[in-house]
Amino acid sequence: MSFVTVGSENGAGINLYYEDHGNGQPVVLIHGYPLDGHSWERQVPVLLDAGYQVITYDRRGFGQSSQPTIGYDYDTFAADLNALIEHLDVRDAFLVGFSMGTGEVTRYLGQYGSERIRKAVLLGAIPPFLLKTDDNPEGVDGQVFEDIKSAIIKDRYKYLESFLNDFYNVDVLGGTRISDRAWQASFNVAAAASAYATYVCVDSWLTDFRDDLPNIDVPMLIMHGTADRILPFPNTAERLPSLLKDAKLIPVEDGPHNIGWTHHDKVNPALLDFLKD
């Protein structure tokens, strides 16, 4: 098992679990909430077969990484990613983020630049800015997120059940694009995550990435389900091409939030085409 130390809490190290497989140009995969690096299982074999080095890791608080009670903000998440990239001396790499992972990609490129990065991919994007404010009328009302935090406090497991049903649009895609067993596997991972991280990460979803976007100078591919119930397409991905220097948007028709699982037949070919183009 491989770990990189990214900080400490009360004298104990904060360690990120990662896996590094294959040879070739590196692809760093950054998972979504509330899963872990193994959630990329429908992309990893395809990328390895295409000749890439594939790196996955678990965000702090999730998977096999440490579960501290500090550092659940995107400046820290980006610093964690940077620590991993420097630890592995990753160069000329592709960053691929899903859901919360799109925040790491955006903040990393905004703050650390593209010296080590060739291209980036966002699946189920959280940028540019999810919260509705006077200067961001396209956002989502803040009460939605307060209700989410209240639901987590009341019964985290019940909340996760509801969240994952919308994560996969189970009422529409259950039994076809998402099996009961695959849903259960996601629930098991989510339930094992830090209860504190599950709660406090909700506030990180409201990060304003608008100042990061003009600093991104690498080509970016954005893929997003048009039926995404977690990060609605009009509030997120649809807005991004006009805010980026070089971006291609591919809407996945009727896709839910986790298109990497349910619509891998559409996501994987587009991903490979973008990486090799």
* Per-residue pLDDT tens listing for the chain (277 residues): 799 999 999 999 999 999 999 999 999 999 999 999 999 999 999 999 999 999 999 999 999 999 999 999 999 999 999 999 999 999 999 999 999 999 999 999 999 999 999 999 999 999 999 999 999 999 999 999 999 999 999 999 999 999 999 999 999 999 999 999 999 999 999 999 999 999 999 999 999 999 999 999 999 999 999 999 999 999 999 999 999 999 999 999 999 999 999 999 999 999 999 999 7
Active-site option among 58, 66, 228, 263: 228
Which H or E element spans position 196? helix 195-204
Residue 159 is part of which domain span?
2-276
Report yes or no: 29 and 40 within 8 Å, Cβ to Cβ: yes
Residue among 8, 20, 52, 81 at smallest CA distance from 271: 52
Instruction: Read off the tokens for 157.
Output: 């497991």
Report yes or no: 29 and 39 within 8 Å, Cβ to Cβ: no
pLDDT at position 196: 98
Catalytic residue flag (residue 194): no
Distance CA 113, CA 24 (A): 22
- Angle, to 10 degrees, between the axis of helix 180-192 and the axis of helix 156-168? 140
Active-site option among 31, 224, 257, 263: 257
Catalytic residue flag (residue 273): no
Report yes or no: 171 and 259 within 8 Å, Cβ to Cβ: no
Instruction: Read off the tokens for 111.
Output: 């703050």
Active-site option among 39, 66, 99, 186: 99
Considering the entire predicted model, what is its pTM? Answer: 0.98
pLDDT at position 277: 76
Catalytic residue flag (residue 80): no
pLDDT at position 1: 79
Indicate which CATH number applies to the domain containing 264. Answer: 3.40.50.1820
Distance CA 52, CA 46 (A): 9
CA distances from 179 to 182, 186, 194, 228 (A): 5, 11, 25, 18
How many distinct structural domains can be found in the chain? 1
